[in-house]
Chains A and B, each alone.
Chain A
Amino acid sequence: MNFETIVGIEIHVEMKTKSKMFSLAPITFGDKPNTEVALLDMAFPGTMPRVNKEAVKNAIRVSNALHMTIDHELWFDRKNYFYSDLPKGYQITQQARPIGSEGYLEIDLDGEKKRIHVERLHMEEDTCMQHHFSDYTLLDYNRAGIPLIEIVSKPEIRSGLEARKYVEKIREIVTYSNVSDGKMEEGSLRCDVNVSIRPYGSEKFGTKVEVKNLNSIANVEKAIDFEAKRQSELLLMGKEVEQETRRFDEAKKETVLMRKKTDAADYKYFTEPNIPPIKLSEEFIQNAIDTCPELYDHKLERFLTDYKLNSIDAKIILSDVEFANYYDEAAKFTKLYQALANYMISEVNGYLNKNDISILEFKVEPKFVAELVELVQSKQINSSQGKEIFAKMVKENKSPLKLQKELGATLISDEETIRKLVLEVLAQNVTLRDDYKAGKTRAQGFVMGQIMKKTGGKVNPGIANKVIVEELKK
């Protein structure tokens, strides 16, 4: 029997706002444990929540990118449960009225678009980080209160591949809108997937299994494919799929049982009494949308039409929003768009990879990269001089024009000087003219090689070629 895989995905996205969802504690990530904590984040008695406006704007932007209906009134609820990572004993979330509802996104399956509907998007706050040791646990409240967006898909995903594309699309939206850095491996984008299977043609959903701990998009795909296979094997053996929570074991590449689900927990939701309903004006919502950083699809189209990049290069550049933004900035200083793209993809990217840093840690001004591309492309320097300048530029963040002077990296472009060199070569190799006239064009290359050798490669090749041909023809 063949089974259809049914997947629904809940994604938690950690926002990179300056401060927390309901307190003024700063968020910088990676700071010392328990140094970015406001009294509210530790649930000091009498402290009260204040809604972070930036977080609301972010939620509006992502809702808009997902074509959702945006609620014009903000409502928050308390989700009550006891857990050691939950400071207040409740989480402030949006249960009854999520800010975004009923939207969709499109994924590309071999050129065909498939629409996946998104049920809801809401804001909430993160819990604190637990570090478990053999007989004790340490709590880091830096994470407590960081704004989260939770995005819940409808169960319309049908395979691991579709799930991967769905998560990629969400990540692309949240990174391009500058809402989150979207790093799954660091937990700023977290996926829980619900997987069930049913015989093709059946309307009824099977028992769903929740898989947690997916720390990469690749693992989302693997976990779903594994889970679908495991469930179908169970059914084919006449066994039942049990409702449970599993996690993905990266080493074994399989899902393993975490806990059996009994009755769904009762979170005793009620409206947060310390935050009155907040009216969002049409103006505020529209402004959040209008000021949203350019999203992927729009940027791609612009790169193809304005910069006339080929689509493979454009997509490589767009695979990292910051890289794309850097390119955009550099493109303001040159019209050699494709050359700039090539340079960014090979030289700049190569440097980043070699040093294992991100473009944000790349200290060179975009303008300088553009200038260097111009220098190389106009053949005012050769490629090895270009590399030399680049090496110095990444250290000193100086203009390549300045560095060119400092390094004395110029090419011989004076025709008469070049002609002298060419004539010297021809004098030493008397057969060359005849060879050339007899159709042996290799002669031309030979002369070029010789003068390059003599000058250490510092001859402008364009001008040299012209002179060589002139002299060979004589």
Chain B
Amino acid sequence: MNYLDLTLSEIHEALVNKQVTPLELTKEAIKRAKENKDNAFEMIIEEDAIKRAEELSKHEVPKDNYFYGIPYVAKNNLSTKGYETNASSNILNGYVPLFDATVIDALNKAGAILIGKSTLDELAMGGTGTSGHLGTTYNPYDPKHLHLIGGSSCGSAVAVADSIVPFALGSDTGDSVRKPASHSGLVGLKPTWGLISRFGLFPFAPSLDHVGFFTRSVKDSAIALNLLAFHDDNDSTSSFKPKVDYLKNLSSDVKGKKLAVITEIFNSIEDEAIKSSFLKLIEKLKNDGAIVEYINFDNKLLNAIYPTYMVISCAESTSNNANLDGIKFGPYLGGKTYQEVMYNARTNGFSPLIKRRFVLGSYSLMRENQQELFLRAQKARRLIVNKCNEIFKKFDAIILPASPTPAPLEKGSNEKVRNDYLAADNWLAIGNFGGFPSITLPMGFEDELPFGVNITCEPFNEVGMFNIASNVEKNTGFAGLSYQNHLEKEVK
């Protein structure tokens, strides 16, 4: 056993008690990062991380600073000063930012040690972890590499699930933290839109984008949110709400809490293991005093989630990535006119999947289509959010399996726009539509692959969300889950 196999709060305790130093942790994390075979890293930051760890090891570890000396990983669409940040897209190869994202800055200041930048689906536009320019990122739970971990925050999920680090930053526009968390037995959180600054996050679709993160326990998630939730003048959408201490408010008492299960979504799930695991969990929640009701959402609205998500996110993405034109960013490949310069850079820089999304987005914004596509999607988004707000008037949370299946096989998966549609596979985007706080945590295993449950609440009800999540964690016993810990348990 190594300290890196513990949760962030446990490691912190070991640091405070001088059982381990930031330097030892960092060296081990870098070693593990190098040994990992799942294609999780765009870059491992060795020299600087060790220098920093050495410096931090000279001082007493402050008791109240959970991140002091903690090695972590950031998704490579978060701007890091001096370290190439390419969003796993060829068009940004070689781009070294001049500034740190607000979240990176906050972690730096707290004394956390960035040991690597993780892989993602190209520009975070995907859900499989297969479309980054370094190829597919695999699930540590399957050393044979048949299964995916999901995306787009695939590399960050690997880093935490494989105990390389206890904490990793991701981003979530549709479910890009919460879905891979489900496939890798992690706690994946995306808080209320505006709670964590997006300054320095490469925009995919700003109205849906969130900074999120992976941890191995609900407590760690609350600790991380304590650090990262604050107002930031650099992000005009950043919330002005007073700070809340999520750790202090953490309780697992769910007596009288009202939880809603969306019937249509639950019924559409075919995986028996997931279904029975969920039903068992619900029984346990009820035993602890929660009131659980099955409610109808409206199939029409549920069926609209995916097209609504695609239209809005693709439309916004065309605009957000228009700066990558070969003039300021992206490869300069020559051209007789400025149009040719842009055309050459963008044609060569983006993969076909991305260009496909841009075409979709552009098409839906065109004057003649805007009413029928973009504005209609906005309307659908509003209706879905209104429906959720109605639910939140009566319920503390929506609880559902985070995914209808465990990690999917690589074979047969693709990032193309699909015709087959399953609400249960896309419902997490509701959290992005309404900017709702939403957390995924491990619920069970099927054929050695984990799957998760998700809890989604009304905006700024993170305390309520952590409360229910904490009870779920108590009932599942999965606090601290990682691939290594899981193996060891199996052996015993």
Which residues of A come within 8 Å of B, CB atoms? Answer: 39, 42-51, 78, 80, 82-84, 87-90, 137, 139, 266, 268-270, 273-276
B430 to chain A, nearest CB (A): 18
**Contact A48 B235, beta carbon cutoff 8 Å:** yes
Q: Identify the closest chain A residue to B337 (Cβ).
A: A84
Q: List 12 A-B contacts (CB under 8 A).
A: A43-B329, A45-B79, A45-B323, A46-B101, A46-B199, A46-B201, A48-B236, A49-B236, A82-B322, A82-B339, A84-B338, A88-B322
Within B189-213, the residues touching A (CB, 8 Å) are 198-203, 205-207
* Contact of A270 with B319 at beta-carbon distance under 8 Å, contacts A45-B92, A84-B327, A89-B325 already known: yes
Which B residues are CB-close (under 8 A) to A42?
328
Within B297-352, the residues touching A (CB, 8 Å) are 315-316, 318-319, 321-325, 327-329, 338-339, 341-342
Judged by DSSP, the binding face of A is loop
* Contact of A48 with B198 at beta-carbon distance under 8 Å, contacts A82-B325, A274-B237 already known: yes
A83 to B198 Cα, complex, angstroms: 27
Which B residues are CB-close (under 8 A) to A80?
318-319, 322, 365
Which residues of B come within 8 Å of A, CB atoms? Answer: 78-79, 85, 87, 92, 95, 97-99, 101, 198-203, 205-207, 233-237, 315-316, 318-319, 321-325, 327-329, 338-339, 341-342, 362, 365-367, 370, 374
**Contact B319 A78, beta carbon cutoff 8 Å:** yes
A81 to chain B, nearest CB (A): 9
Of listed B95, B233, B234, residue having the most chain A CB within 10 A: B234
Which B residues are CB-close (under 8 A) to A84?
327, 338, 341
Which B residues are CB-close (under 8 A) to A269?
365
**Contact A46 B365, beta carbon cutoff 8 Å:** no
**Contact A50 B233, beta carbon cutoff 8 Å:** yes
Which A residues are CB-close (under 8 A) to B237?
273-276
B225 to chain A, nearest CB (A): 21
**Contact B328 A46, beta carbon cutoff 8 Å:** no
Query: Which single member of B87, B199, B322, B324 contacts A47 (CB below 8 Å)?
Result: B199
**Contact B323 A276, beta carbon cutoff 8 Å:** no
A90 to B325 Cα, complex, angstroms: 12
**Contact A44 B366, beta carbon cutoff 8 Å:** no
Which B residues are CB-close (under 8 A) to A83?
338
Q: Identify the closest chain A residue to B365 (Cβ).
A: A268
Of listed A50, A89, A269, A275, residue having the most chain B CB within 10 A: A89
Q: Identify the closest chain B residue to A275 (Cβ).
A: B236
A334 to chain B, nearest CB (A): 48
A55 to B305 Cα, complex, angstroms: 39
Which B residues are CB-close (under 8 A) to A45?
79, 85, 87, 92, 95, 97, 202-203, 323-324, 329
**Contact B323 A87, beta carbon cutoff 8 Å:** yes
Q: Identify the closest chain A residue to B233 (Cβ).
A: A50
B372 to chain A, nearest CB (A): 14
**Contact B99 A268, beta carbon cutoff 8 Å:** no
Which B residues are CB-close (under 8 A) to A273?
205-207, 237, 316
A273 to B378 Cα, complex, angstroms: 12
A99 to B331 Cα, complex, angstroms: 39
Which A residues are CB-close (under 8 A) to B199?
46-48
7 additional A-B pairs beyond A49-B236, A266-B367, beta carbons within 8 Å, are: A46-B101, A48-B199, A48-B235, A50-B236, A51-B236, A80-B318, A270-B319
A419 to B373 Cα, complex, angstroms: 100
B87 to chain A, nearest CB (A): 8
